[in-house]
Amino acid sequence: MVEIQKICCFQLPSFTLIWGWLGSIYSGLELMFGLIALSFIDIYGLKLLFLSVFTFLMFLSILTSVGLIFSVLKENHKYMLPWIFHEMVSLILEIITMIALLIACFASGSPFSEMSSSYEYDGYGNDGYGNYRYRNYMISPIFMPILLICKIVANIIRIYIFIGIWSLFKNYRRGTEVDFQRLIDSSKSNV
């Protein structure tokens, strides 16, 4: 795999530290707002399922981001392993999702248009209660190519960041092996 020395004009440890803090803050905010949004679900069984899965995934994301921070502060590659595994799985699932989306768009016969539907609340009716109307909306034909291009660009950036952090992981692992070998050599010379 390609090894790089800098990511966006930052040294690898600096960028990894920044990325870990940004990931921790983002995951914490996502957890907070997600829990608030989940509190509005009325179906109890569904709410419990979403709440448990969502909370677990957000805590996992927070822990992996904190692992990046610790890996830089301790210069230990082992703290990076959860983030690397999490990011690899996320990237693979994202690529599979993009391919499935592309196949579904072309298989539907209209590759760049999609129907979207929603219920609209039209205010209070004669009986004092609001009325809901079901409406279909046609998403602009330009929406799907723009969405696909944005997802491709975002994943290229994520892969670039992954390669950079993987390079730092390999550097830390190589440094640990060299330090261990020096320790063994110094203990042999003292005997």
Closest by Cα among 85, 16, 187 to 7: 16
CA distance 61 to 20: 10
Helix %, strand %, coil % of the chain (to 5): 70, 15, 15
Residues 6+ apart with CB under 8 A from 144: 105, 111, 112, 113, 114
Whether 52 is in a domain gets the answer yes
Whether 115 is in a domain gets the answer no
Whether 114 is in a domain gets the answer no
Helices 44-74, 12-38: inter-axial angle, 10-degree rounding: 160
- CA separation, residue 149 to residues 93, 107, 146 (Å): 17, 19, 5
Closest by Cα among 34, 50, 53, 52 to 42: 50
pTM: 0.71
Whether 188 is in a domain gets the answer no
CA distance 168 to 162: 10
* β-strands 114-124, 130-139 pairing: antiparallel
Whether 117 is in a domain gets the answer no
- CA separation, residue 188 to residues 171, 179, 182 (Å): 26, 14, 10
Whether 66 is in a domain gets the answer yes
Whether 118 is in a domain gets the answer no
In the beta sheet, which residues pair with residue 118? 135
Is residue 87 a contact partner of residue 162, using CB atoms and an 8 Å limit? yes
Average pLDDT, consecutive stretches of 10 residues, N- to C-terminus, the chain (191 residues): 82 92 92 81 71 85 92 90 92 87 67 49 54 53 74 92 92 75 70 61
Show the domain range for 24: 6-109+131-179
Number of domains in the chain: 1
Whether 185 is in a domain gets the answer no
CA distance 60 to 83: 9
